[in-house]
Amino acid sequence: MDWLDQIKWDDKGLVPVIAQEASTGDVLMFAWMNREALQKTAELGRAVYFSRSRNKLWFKGEESGHVQTVHDIRLDCDNDVVLLKITQQGHEPGIACHTGRHSCFYQRLDTDATNAVPVWHSVDPVLKDPESIYKQ
C-alpha cells in the first residue's frame, strides 16, 4: 500500500496539517494538504500546502520568503491529521503568520476585567508589518 493511501483524506481530498517549530515546540500554524501537496512536501523537504481559497498548491513562503524547512512528517493515531516539525525561515524569529507574527495562534481567551466576560486578546507582537512582507 502506498504511504499516501494510509491517510484518511476528507471528502474533498484534504487532510489537516499542523506546523510545529522543531526547536521550540511552538505550534505555528494550521493548514490543509491534498495528496500532491504532501507528496511535494516529502520530496522537497519544505512545506507545500493546499490553499482552499485559491484552490491550488501553496508553497509556503512563495510570496513572503518565509519558507518552512521540514525535518519530520508525522501522522496521528487515527491517520487523519499530519504534523510537520519545521524550521521557520525568513526572519528571526521566524514569521509563520500572514499577520507578521511568529505564530498564527496569537489570540488568547481572557476574562474582561470590566464585564467579566470572555474576550480574545492579541498576546504576541507583530514582528514585521504585513504590508512590507507581501507583494501587492
Structural domain that includes position 106: 3-128
Answer yes or no: is 136 within a domain: no
Residue 20, classed as helix, strand or coil, is: strand
Reported as a pLDDT band with limits 50, 70 and 90, residue 19 is very high
Beta strand 15-21 pairing with 48-51:
unpaired
Q: Which residues pair with 75 in a beta bridge?
A: 82
CATH of the domain at 68: 3.10.20.810
Residue 27, classed as helix, strand or coil, is: strand
Answer yes or no: is 17 within a domain: yes
Reported as a pLDDT band with limits 50, 70 and 90, residue 117 is confident
Number of domains, the chain: 1
Answer yes or no: is 133 within a domain: no
- The grid cell for 24 is 521550540
How many percent of the chain have pLDDT more than 90? 71
Answer yes or no: is 135 within a domain: no
Considering the entire predicted model, what is its pTM?
A: 0.87
Q: How far apart are CA 67 and CA 121, in angstroms?
A: 27
Mean pLDDT to the nearest integer, 7-31: 97
Element (H, E) at 40: helix 35-44
